[in-house]
């Protein structure tokens, strides 16, 4: 059985961009001149946010990726992270390689973004992963939820729904073909944070948010913070061939609109800047799709393929749903 010191050793790394890293009572970091600090925290709980049998390498990747997505939504450059882990005694005793694989997945992604792990904590308990990400953004330039104005186009990056469809399969609410399941599980377990896109949207987008809880719920946050309304067309939402195949089933429509775990960006841009967004899409090789429009007033109207308004019972993931 590995000790607490052994576990900590799996995560200790030196980094030239850190004044003082793991090993002291706190870390010391030095932001670049002219930058504001962006800070976000996400917690993943076994059985709530991931299946207990999830591959530890992929879980290490996802634990950081969901935080990187928050940085992307602000247009920030991620630089540092802290991690708190609660590990079941049975896991530590019976499967010490799990921790090594989790660390390997985490650091493979961290290294690709030059993110340094500067500290954290570990304890014994139900499997829980909490990561705080710290980044930098030019003073006064961060993307926010509160800047959308009537007339803005609503855009999304990538394709929506695959991750939620994978969860439906795992819960035996739909049966996917093996190749379809692989595609959807990759979306669920190995999300790609749109950090580069977020930075390109600074000075172009009026508002932005990452789609973690579901398109309708997260777009709803933009509407609430900006005091505006919106119309979204289902037929314009970019989705995979797998989603399209099963789209006649209502719960698959819900995957696309409210499933969550997409970690794409939803952002609003003035109509006259459409060509600039299209150019960015071509340059970075990520599909960026106009799905609707910001309006005066309040509320979100969703139009089906025939342009008729529809009502969605669920708009996104809620940790404490009303009964």
Confidence label for 6 from pLDDT (cuts 50, 70 and 90): low
Between CA 188 and CA 36 the distance in angstroms is 31
Please enumerate in sequence order all residues whose Cβ is within 8 A of that of 218, keeping only pairs 6 or more positions apart, or say none. Answer: 209, 210, 211, 212, 266, 316
CB distance 258 to 316 below 8 Å: yes
Query: Mean pLDDT over residues 116-135, rounded?
Result: 95
Q: Is it the case that residue 323 has pLDDT exceeding 60?
A: no
Between CA 56 and CA 40 the distance in angstroms is 23
Please name the residue that has the structure tokens 């609109």: 257
Q: Which H helix or E strand runs over 194?
A: none
Give the HSE-up count for residue 305: Cα atoms under 13 Å, Cβ half-sphere: 4
* pLDDT of 12: 65
Q: Is it the case that residue 320 has pLDDT exceeding 60?
A: no
pLDDT per position as a tens digit, 188-203: 999 999 999 999 999 9
pLDDT per position as a tens digit, 254-303: 999 999 999 999 999 999 999 999 999 999 999 999 999 999 999 999 99
Proportion of the chain above pLDDT 90, given as a percent: 82
Please enumerate in sequence order all residues whose Cβ is within 8 A of that of 322, keeping only pairs 6 or more positions apart, or say none. Answer: none
Query: Mean pLDDT over residues 208-223, rounded?
Result: 97
C-alpha distance across the termini of the chain, in Å: 43
Between CA 31 and CA 101 the distance in angstroms is 31
* pLDDT of 7: 65
pLDDT per position as a tens digit, 61-103: 999 999 999 999 999 999 999 999 999 999 988 898 999 999 9
Query: Mean pLDDT over residues 125-143, rounded?
Result: 97
CB distance 141 to 84 below 8 Å: no
Higher pLDDT, 1 or 164: 164
Proportion of the chain above pLDDT 70, given as a percent: 93
Query: Mean pLDDT over residues 300-313, rounded?
Result: 88
Task: Supply the mean pLDDT for the chain.
Answer: 93
> Helices marked H in the chain — which ranges?
4-11, 56-74, 89-94, 96-112, 162-170, 178-189, 195-200, 215-226, 241-245, 250-258, 274-284
Burial of 97 (0-12, 13-18, 19+ CB in 10 A): exposed
* pLDDT of 9: 66
Architecture in CATH of 145-310: Alpha-Beta Complex (3.90)
**40 token code pair:** 């976000």
CATH 3.30.1330.10 is the classification of domain 30-138: yes
Lowest-pLDDT choice from 99-103, 210-214, 315-319: 315-319
The domain ranges of the chain are: 30-138, 145-310
Q: Which H helix or E strand runs over 148?
A: none
CB distance 84 to 121 below 8 Å: yes
* pLDDT of 125: 96
Query: Mean pLDDT over residues 141-161, rounded?
Result: 98
CB distance 288 to 216 below 8 Å: no
């Amino acid at each position: 059985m590995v000790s607490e010191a052994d576990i900590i050793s799996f995560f200790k790394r030196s980094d030239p961009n850190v004044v003082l890293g793991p090993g002291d009572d706190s870390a010391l970091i030095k932001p670049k001149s002219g930058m504001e600090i962006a800070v976000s925290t996400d917690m993943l709980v076994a059985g709530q946010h991931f299946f207990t049998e999830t591959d530890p390498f992929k879980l290490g990747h996802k634990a950081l990726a969901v935080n990187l997505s928050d940085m992307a939504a602000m247009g920030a450059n991620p630089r540092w992270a802290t991690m708190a882990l609660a590990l079941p005694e049975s896991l530590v005793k019976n499967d010490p390689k799990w921790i090594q694989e989790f660390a390997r997945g985490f650091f493979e992604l961290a290294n690709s973004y030059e993110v340094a792990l500067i500290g954290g904590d570990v304890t014994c308990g139900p499997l829980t992963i909490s990561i705080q990400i710290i980044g930098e953004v030019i003073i006064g330039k961060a993307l926010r939820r509160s800047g959308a104005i009537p007339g803005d186009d609503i855009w999304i990056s990538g394709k929506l729904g695959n991750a939620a469809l994978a969860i439906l399969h795992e819960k035996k609410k739909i049966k996917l073909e093996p190749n379809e399941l692989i595609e959807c599980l990759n979306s669920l377990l190995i999300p790609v944070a749109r950090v580069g896109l977020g930075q390109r949207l600074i000075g172009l987008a009026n508002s932005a948010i990452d789609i973690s809880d579901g398109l309708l719920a997260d777009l709803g946050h933009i509407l609430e913070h900006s005091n505006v309304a919106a119309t979204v067309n289902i037929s314009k939402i970019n989705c995979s061939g797998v989603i399209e195949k099963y789209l006649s089933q209502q719960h698959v429509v819900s995957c696309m609109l409210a499933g969550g775990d997409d970690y794409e960006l939803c952002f609003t841009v003035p109509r006259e800047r459409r060509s600039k967004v299209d150019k960015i899409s071509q340059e970075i090789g990520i599909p960026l799709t106009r799905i609707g429009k910001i309006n005066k007033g309040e509320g979100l109207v969703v139009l089906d393929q025939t342009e008729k308004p529809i009502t969605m019972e669920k708009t996104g993931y809620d940790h404490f749903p009303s009964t």
